[in-house]
Structure 1
Amino acid sequence: MEFTDILYEKNDGVAKITINRPRAMNAFRGQTVEEMITAFRDAWDDNTIGVVVLTGAGDRAFCAGGDQKERGADGYGEKGGLGNGIGLEIETLHYYIRSIPKPVIAAVNGYAIGGGHVLHVICDLTIASDKAIFGQIGPKVGSYDAGFGSAYLARIVGQKKAREIWYLCEQYSAEEAREMGLVNKVVPHEELMAEVDRWCQKILDKSPTALKILKQSFNADVASIEGITQMGMSSLAMYYGTEEALEGNAAFREKRPVNFRKFRR
């Protein structure tokens, strides 16, 4: 497959997937998600690959989530993605990141916001540049992640902090993210990929079977969240067509203050 939205390379046991839409802060659209799924499938099938790195192109962003310019009342397009109706096969992508029997490292080089924040959360490990910024944005633009992006996030940072992240939609520095257990390590920006490579080499020295079983064991503890994800995506497909959700999207597009208060009258 010829990729347009991502870069995919394999070298000495490491598969590297780079979201390549820097002009859009590496926000994803349907095509982006499909290409990432294809790359993860290939890395899964290649027995010479022992670890996968997920990152974003450029110095500004890891991923800014779903591209709001691509979103309308019907979601992000005609394709539903496992029947969820939002036009993104995001559940499938989350499945591959979580289920590929090899560790996945998120190399966060800038903003990890919204759906991009969810991507790093569900990766096995996160190494962040000291310039990285983390946060959720869904309730500001008429969206949400009622599955791994919230329920699993709470397993990582605790219920109180997870609710703060979602309810307030504030942004957090890389050091703040490390302190709350959201990332494993923070390094100077220019040293990010070198540090990621060091972690990859350490992983490649370990037993692939042991790592596979360990990952499956970790996943088993949160397997019930998959059902919550399916319900959340189904509700999101219905929500996107409401006046309330469209207000969030329109405000983002028009670069004006959003007015959700009118929906409390």
Structure 2
Amino acid sequence: MASLSALLLRGPSLLRPCPQLSAARTYAAGGDFKYIISEKKGKKNNVGLIQLNRPKALNALCQPLINEMNQALMTFQEDPSIGAIVLTGSEKSFAAGADIKEMSDKTLQFCYSEKLLKGWDNMSQVTKPIIAAVNGFALGGGCELALMCDIIYAGENAQFGQPEILIGTIPGGGGTQRLTRVVGKSLAMEMVLTGDRISAQEAKQAGLISKIFPVEKLVEEAIQCAEKIANNSKIVTQMAKESVNAAFETTLAEGIRLEKKLFFSTFATDDQKEGMSAFVEKRKANFKDN
């Protein structure tokens, strides 16, 4: 959750946006954004793309940035044309953590009134698949943000870590919980207790990410994956996401029961009939998302 941008940089930093986003327009119900760039991508404009855009602070997660990200997420969530979402940062930093200046003087009473980290976990309520495209630093809250996504792709320069212990606190955005479930107790405990980072290669070996790409190709690859997902039945995709997530939140027996109920539920959709008919007839399915 903590930002170490002051330690990561010896002087001011100017980060260039990803090349694919340099001419991006904003896409939001409420108008232009200050801390993010949001647009539709893909051949069918069925992928929502959100780029964290606070370069001088290595995309440190201040509350206004979180608010804008949540607004963009809800816009894509409610847009029936969007089938999947990609979340990225710059080529140098996905997100270096929370904004320490913003939280350093907060009190216990302030924290317990739920004013600190307000809305940080809204992403976990989004039912459409979210792909994190991580280049550079994903530290503290940045790592926790990636962990809330459904798929993580990483650039070759990616670094993941939970360095909160180094500034006298612990992860507060799910780092001790989601990280442990993904990489296991030993590695999670080492990362949390030492503040040490792991590379993209180490993260892949640990199961934290699924694929590694060259820095300049990362966002493009994530969008291509999102397009594949978006071209499937949106309603069935949401069922699949719910079922996989249940594996982290329930017992095996409960998860199997939920999976079976969701599997049976697909037979109430037109898309199941279309998908199976297309398979039998050896043609491409034409899903209508119902």
Give the corresponding residue for 2:230: 204
Aligned twin of 1:258: none
Could you report, residue by residue, the CA deviation over 1:38-63 in whole angstroms, capped at 9, with x for unpaired residues?
11111111011111111113x21000
Counterparts of 2:88 and 2:170, CA distance in 1: 22
Give me the whole-angstrom Cα distance separating, in 1, the residues matched to 2:236 and 2:61: 33
Determine whether 1:94 maps to 2:124.
Answer: no
Percent identity of equivalent pairs: 35
- What are the equivalent positions in structure 2 for 1:139-154 lying under 5 Å apart? 139-146=165-172, 148-154=174-180
Q: Which amino acid aligns with 2:146?
A: H
**Match for residue 241 of structure 1?**
none
The RMSD of aligned alpha carbons is: 1.9
Taking structure 1 as the reference length, the TM-score comes to 0.76
SS at match of 2:224: helix
Find out whether 1:166 has 2:198 as its counterpart. no
The equivalent of 1:56 in structure 2 is 89
Q: Report the residue type matching 1:10 in the other structure.
A: K
Amino acid at match of 2:99: D
Question: How far does residue 221 in structure 1 lie from its aligned partner after superposition?
Answer: 4.1
The question of 1:106 aligning with 2:132 is answered yes
Q: Residue 85 in 1 paired to residue 111 in 2?
A: no
Deviates more, 1:141-150 or 1:30-39: 141-150
Q: What residue is the counterpart of 1:74 in the other structure?
A: 106
SS in 2 for 1:93: coil
Give the drift of 1:150.
1.3
Report the structure number with the largest CA radius of gyration.
2
After TM superposition, give the deviation of residue 223 of structure 1 in Å: 4.6
Matches within 5 A, 1:213-252: 213-223=239-249
Tell me if the contact between 1:101 and 1:211 (Cα under 8 Å) persists in the aligned partners.
no
CA spacing shift, 1:179–1:52, aligned 2, 3 Å = same
| Cα pair 2:83 2:231 within 8 Å, conserved | no
Q: How many residues align?
A: 215
1:17 aligns with 2:50: yes
| 1:146 CA displacement | 4.8
Give the match's secondary structure for 2:223.
helix
Structure 2: distance between partners of 1:180 and 1:102: 25
SS of 1:143's partner is: coil
In 2 relative to 1, CA 66–147 (structure 1 residues): closer, same or farther, beyond 3 Å?
A: closer
Deviation for aligned residue 1:17? 0.9
- Structure 2 residue runs of 5 or longer lacking an equivalent are 1-29, 251-290
What is the alpha-carbon distance in structure 2 between the residues aligned to residue 105 and residue 19 of structure 1?
Answer: 14
| Distance (whole Å) between structure 2 residues aligned to residue 26 and residue 163 of structure 1 | 26
Flag structure 1 segments of 5+ consecutive residues without an equivalent.
Answer: 225-265
Q: Distance in 1 between matches of 2:216 and 2:50?
A: 19
Q: TM-score, normalised by structure 2?
A: 0.70
User: What residue is the counterpart of 1:37 in the other structure?
Assistant: 70
Deviation at 1:143, TM superposition (A): 2.7
Query: Matches of 1:85 and 1:124 in 2, distance apart?
Result: 26
How far apart in 1 are the matches of 2:223 and 2:211? 13
